Structure 1
Amino acid sequence: MNTQGRAGEEQAARFLTARGWRILEKNYAAPCGEIDLIALDGKTLVFVEVKARAYSAFGGPLAAVTPAKQRRIAQTAALYVAGKRLKFDSIRFDVVCILPDKTELISHAFTPPRTTL
């Protein structure tokens, strides 16, 4: 991971923590993929993809979360849930988009296929 990516993930973790979220994992890796941040937002387990960009051209950070990337995140999330004994009421997939002049949370950024979770 490059320096911009690491800095973006740290910025996203601070951004979410300031909103009362509890960060459970950073850079959770499994054979099928990696999840930047895993957090609890109240009783919701949230899998967060962080996209930091120097500019918003070509669709900005959110455009980089392709359907293939979403599938890998969902598969990794399923492994995480299966391997942990956590109490939560629901699961959500969010994206934190970071540009030089703003940080934005896209809640419910995508819904994985029903067969994943």
Structure 2
Amino acid sequence: MKRGEWGEQAARAYLQKLGWRVVETNFRTRFGEIDIIAQCGQYIIFVEVKTRKDDRFAAAREHVTFTKQQKILAAAETWLQRYPSGLQPRFDVIEVYGEEDGEVPRRVNLLENAFGGA
């Protein structure tokens, strides 16, 4: 399993432990991809997962560039048009640190409301 897939799997498990309901994974549009779409309370949450071995050179969240954020926002708009909801959209980032050959990540960080709304 590749590191990114492993990280997304770890992120889904983490969110489910928090009581979130994963609605969709790897939602692709011509604008870009959303790793995880989940629901928690009044929110529909679009989650970008960044997986890294460690944060020695930079935090994983630093790889969610402005350009990447714009792609996620556009993809989220597409999703919301297809699946209208009264829920408040939110954009989170999950950092997963560890080795894909390990059973569990060393660390998972959830950054709520990490960037602008739709």
TM over 0.5: yes
Structure 2 residue runs without a partner (length 5+): 99-105
Q: Equivalent of 1:96, from 77, 94, 97?
A: 94
After superposition, the C-alpha distances for 1:77-117 in whole angstroms (9 at most, x for unaligned) are 000000113341x11100000112210100011114xxxx3
Structure 1 residue runs without a partner (length 5+): none
Q: How far apart, CA to CA, are the structure 1 residues paired with 2:86 and 2:9?
A: 25
Deviation at 1:37, TM superposition (A): 0.1
After superposition, the C-alpha distances for 1:13-51 in whole angstroms (9 at most, x for unaligned) are 000010010000000000100000000011200000000
Which amino acid counterpart does residue 69 of structure 1 have in structure 2?
Answer: K
Which amino acid counterpart does residue 115 of structure 2 have in structure 1?
Answer: F
> What secondary structure, in the 3-state scheme, does the structure 2 residue paired with 1:109 have?
coil
Alignment TM-score, normalising by the size of structure 1: 0.90
Deviation at 1:60, TM superposition (A): 1.6
Q: How far apart, CA to CA, are the structure 1 residues paired with 2:73 and 2:57?
A: 24
4+ residue runs of structure 1 moved beyond 4 angstroms?
none
Q: How far apart, CA to CA, are the structure 1 residues paired with 2:115 and 2:18?
A: 21
1:75 alignment counterpart: 74
Please list, as runs of the form range in 1=range in 2, the aligned pairs for 1:1-117 lying within 5 A after superposition: 3-88=2-87, 90-100=88-98, 101-112=106-117, 117=118
Alignment TM-score, normalising by the size of structure 2: 0.89
Q: How far apart, CA to CA, are the structure 1 residues paired with 2:46 and 2:56?
A: 25
**Aligned length in residues:** 111
> What secondary structure, in the 3-state scheme, does the structure 1 residue paired with 2:12 have?
helix
